[in-house]
Every structure is written in structure tokens, then in C-alpha cells.
Structure 1
């Protein structure tokens, strides 16, 4: 997984569409790698989670390579189907909910933080939505600090509701991850405890 991460990072960083935007888009993946490395001896996630983290980082690095508004495959989809925008940004925000929901779930379950199981999913969705709102603040602060050079980072593509769509996609990603993958995730955690 680490080799795949490094290979995609190197590819992404080679002649990106915009170097400043690349740095901003790839920074969360690099921070994630640092956090995973820092926790390695104290809290190891399941391989299931590490694969999802890797997939999410690849989405971030591809977005950094092209910018979220100019990802070629999604430009083709936009043109082929007459869509109003390049939807790679929406995929990125969907993943911003999908993967952190699984990470939050594993942390909360393994540390025994939630005493009542029925509260688990609502708390996870709240955590993920709070993270999404914080990320929207970060995008805003970067735009204020850097001005025009943050336009590609924001990726609004002229949509006045882009921030709300971003948080909606994040919430949708979190809910679908919990709905579709909770049982598989439980089995992955059980297998990892047997090791």
C-alpha cells in the first residue's frame, strides 16, 4: 500500500496542472500518512481501513494532479452526457465522508468509546460532517489568504451552492459507508484481533 501511495504521489507531482493547487490538494494525503505512521506502534488499523485510506489518498492525488475541476475522465463524462460541471470534486467530497466514517467507526469501536451501539452511526455521521465543515473553513481561509491563486483549490465551478453540495456529498458518503460496509468492517476487525 505504501509503495502504491508513493508511486501515485510521484506521478501526481510530476508536472501537475498547477503546482500550488497540487500542494493544497495533496497535503491532506501527506498529513494522513504522517498520522498513520505516528500511530503505527500505538494503534494499528485493520488492512481494510488502510486500503480505504490508500484509495482516498489516490483520489486526493489525482485531484491534485489535474485540479478537481479539470480531471480528464470527468471532463469527458461532462461533455459526453451534457453535464453542467466536472463532478470529480463531488467524488472527492463523497470520499471525504466515506473513508473518515470507516476510520471513525474503527476508532470508536476498538477503543470502546460508545456505550450504546444505536448511537454509533449518528455520532460517526456527526464527526464526519463536522470534519467536512472544518475543511470548508480551511478552503475559505486559504482563499482569503492567497486570493486568486486559490480558485482552482476551491473548485466551485461557478456553483453558489458548492459548499453545501460538498457537505451533502460528504454526509452521503458517510451514510453509504456505514450502510454498505459495516458488516465487512466488523469481520475485518475480528480477523485482526485473532492475529
Structure 2
């Protein structure tokens, strides 16, 4: 089956970054843990593309989120050079690249859930939909924090690198706050653009 230009570009970018990410990462075990969600997401999108094709906006945001995960997996989140540069620029006490990941962890699931809910007509646009999306984003974030905890318990040698707390006592709470912020950004800043693409896809 012939792929469209946008799908081909998605696959090329994802494949190239995945290859780079897996080439001599800082810690192979941590790399597998960090990259696995991106690979699973790509497989799910490939499996559902024919029967439930999403809007271009959602596909693009998923790709960006995957790139964030793949970069974090290559270096580990506490050692990403961009985060180090940002830390030195603003005289921060830790590398905050992980917060970028948690921002997308709230934004991307929010828009994916929004699209599915609106297309299946579970909820109409409005306050209840937005409330559900915020709760959904927080639930995803909380579940991921549980996964991090389980990994830390069963693999003590990888705990610090995978958790990426960098000594910050409120790391879990701030991670969830960033996910909530990402969800709000998706609803407020991208809602209209998303609606426009949904209308176009339904009329085509």
C-alpha cells in the first residue's frame, strides 16, 4: 500500500531518531524503559491508521512527543545537553528536560482522548468534556508515576536514572503539575485548531 507524503515523513523522522537514540545510549536498560512508550505508540498508530485515522495535528504532536522520549532515552533525562544548557542559562539547580516530557505527557493524551471522544460522540464539546480531559491527563500522569515507582522498587540499580528526581523532593508532584499544564494548553491553545481539522476530516 502506498503511503502518503506526511505518513512517509512521520516514519522517516521516527525511524531516524529511534536509530540515533539506540546508538550507544548512556544506559541500555534505561534506554529500553524510556523508549518503549514511544515504540508502542508508533505501533498503535500504525495498527489503527486505516480504520481510525487521526487528525494531522494529533499525529504531529505524537511524533514530537516520541522525539522528546527518544532524546531522553539516549542521554537519560538528567543528562540531556539542551537541559544542561537551559540550566546554566537560568542558573537552575537541576536539568528540567524531564518536565518537557511531562508537559507533552499531558498535552498529547488530552488531544488523543479529545479526538476519540468527539468522533465516537461520548461527550459533546463543553465544560464536562474539558473536565474529563483534565482528569484523564492527570490519571495518565499518575499511572506513569506508579510505573516509575515499580521500576525503582524492582530494579534498584536503575532507580535513580529512570526516576530522574535529581534530588528534588517534589519531583512527582511537579511532574503531574506539568502534565496538567500540558492538558490545559491542549484544550485552550489547540482546541480550535483541532476542531477545524475534525470538521475537515468529517466532511471529506
Q: What TM bracket, shorter-length normalisation?
A: over 0.9
Aligned residue in 1 for 2:7: none
1:5-24 map, 5 Å: 5-24=14-33
Equivalent of residue 169 in structure 1, options 162, 174, 178: 178
Shift of 1:73: 1.3
8 Å contact 1:21–1:152 — kept in the other structure?
A: yes
> Is residue 188 from structure 1 mapped to residue 188 from structure 2 by the alignment?
no
CA distance in 1 between partners of 2:89 and 2:136 (Å):
37
CA distance in 2 between partners of 1:21 and 1:107 (Å):
32
Shift of 1:115: 4.3
1:146-181 per-position Cα deviation (integer Å, ceiling 9, x unaligned) = 112221110000011100000000001000111000
How many aligned positions are there? 195
1:1-195 map, 5 Å: 1-115=10-124, 117-195=126-204
8 Å contact 2:103–2:178 — kept in the other structure?
A: yes
Aligned CA-pair RMSD:
1.1
8 Å contact 1:128–1:170 — kept in the other structure?
A: yes
Shift of 1:116: 6.4
Structure 1 length-normalised TM: 0.96
Runs of 4+ in 1 over 2 A off after TM superposition: 115-118
Shift of 1:118: 2.2
Relative to 1, partners in 2 of residues 1:146 and 1:112: Cα closer, same or farther, differing over 3 Å?
same
8 Å contact 2:118–2:124 — kept in the other structure?
A: no
